[in-house]
Chains A and B, each alone.
Chain A
């Protein structure tokens, strides 16, 4: 099953067919999501309008962690089974993850100032997300640090797997230690602590962000595959 899609040519064909649909879904979800987030949802009883920052902050945070998990899995596949597509998936996802993590840090800071009274504190949640951002930057740097792209991919894959310890730390930091950041509102054992009127735009935006991430990932992977093929053609023409 997995091997079928791991064939680069087949992947490119499937991606080309999926892309227009996922791009259309992204746009549609963003239109609906932003409408709900900015117009069709109430202000929070404590935070007021500031609550709307959450509709960007929380989906970005989810994606930034899911993206890192994806990179870690792809790195393991690349190291163990040596699938070339896994390396491409990992290095295509890393800049996206870095971007989403940066959005999380910036929007969190913008929310923190009016709510907590500070832009930044060194509590366990905020610090571990900053570490995630540095892991992404390290992954990108390491991928491009070698003349031989395969050595770069190997080094980056090891970093991605080592850095994966950080993901459970981010997730559970708010439960394990006293933090200024509040604990999870949605992913908890009992019912979400968010009113449905505020949860709806949040989930819509999360879906929009997910489709945006998947679309961009496919675009970047196809571009990477084409660049690799172009390089191979140039090399064979030069001989």
Chain B
């Protein structure tokens, strides 16, 4: 009985210490764990021009403008907005109001040039008829916050 209790204590203590260590490590390297920065993040921690990073947010409604093979659009997190441009083929899900993650560099004038654009899918799933019905009755919430 005594032995069992000691083993139980050893296992529980090790797991506790391990969990604490993991939490500390993850907090310390949080910066490299985030997949993208939001426009607000960028305002808080300025990024030097020419450094490659990912910018994430929503494609602002009415901001998409095609210019040949180049698409101009605004990435917003509903607080801050950054104008971006991308030359190439966009993913099918790319559209105004939709989440987007773009990899690229910041230009000196504060705009963003993307070299790769990924569409971000949110956690809402519904049939097309339901989506249409919601839009018609005006209950649609296109501004679902970018995660």
Interface residues of A (CB under 8 A from B): 42-47, 51, 54, 76, 79-81, 114-118, 121-124, 161-162, 164-165, 169, 174, 176-180, 182-185, 193-195, 197-198
Contacts and interface: CB of A to CB of B under 8 A. Distances in A.
Given A80-B4, A180-B101, A182-B120, A123 B127 contact: no
Given A79-B7, A116-B119, A182-B122, 20 more contacts: A45-B127, A47-B93, A54-B125, A80-B11, A115-B119, A116-B118, A117-B91, A117-B119, A118-B118, A122-B35, A162-B18, A169-B22, A177-B33, A177-B35, A178-B37, A178-B56, A193-B124, A193-B125, A198-B125, A198-B126
Interface in B63-114: 90-93, 101
21 contacts: A42-B127, A46-B121, A80-B11, A115-B119, A116-B91, A117-B117, A117-B119, A123-B35, A124-B34, A165-B22, A177-B34, A178-B36, A178-B56, A180-B35, A183-B147, A193-B122, A194-B124, A194-B125, A195-B126, A195-B127, A198-B126
A185 B125 contact: yes
Contacts, number: 116
A121 B35 contact: yes
Contact of A114 (B92, B120, B125, B129): B92
Interface in B1-39: 4, 7-8, 11, 14-15, 18-19, 22, 26, 30, 33-38
A174 to B, nearest CB: 7
Nearest to B89: A117
A194 to B, nearest CB: 4
B93 A115 contact: yes
B45 interface: no
A178 B91 contact: no
Contacts of B43: none
Nearest to B26: A169
Contact of B123 (A47, A121, A161, A193): A193
Contact of B127 (A80, A114, A185, A198): A198
Nearest to B6: A80
Given A79-B11, A114-B92, A183-B147, A124 B33 contact: yes
Contacts of B123: 182-185, 193
Contacts of A116: 91, 93, 118-121
B120 A177 contact: no
A76 B91 CA distance: 46
B131 interface: yes
Contacts of A178: 34-38, 56, 147
Contacts of A164: 15
Nearest to B120: A180
A183 B19 CA distance: 23
A239 to B, nearest CB: 31
Interface centre among A43, A114, A116, A164 (most CB of B within 10 A): A116
Nearest to B41: A178
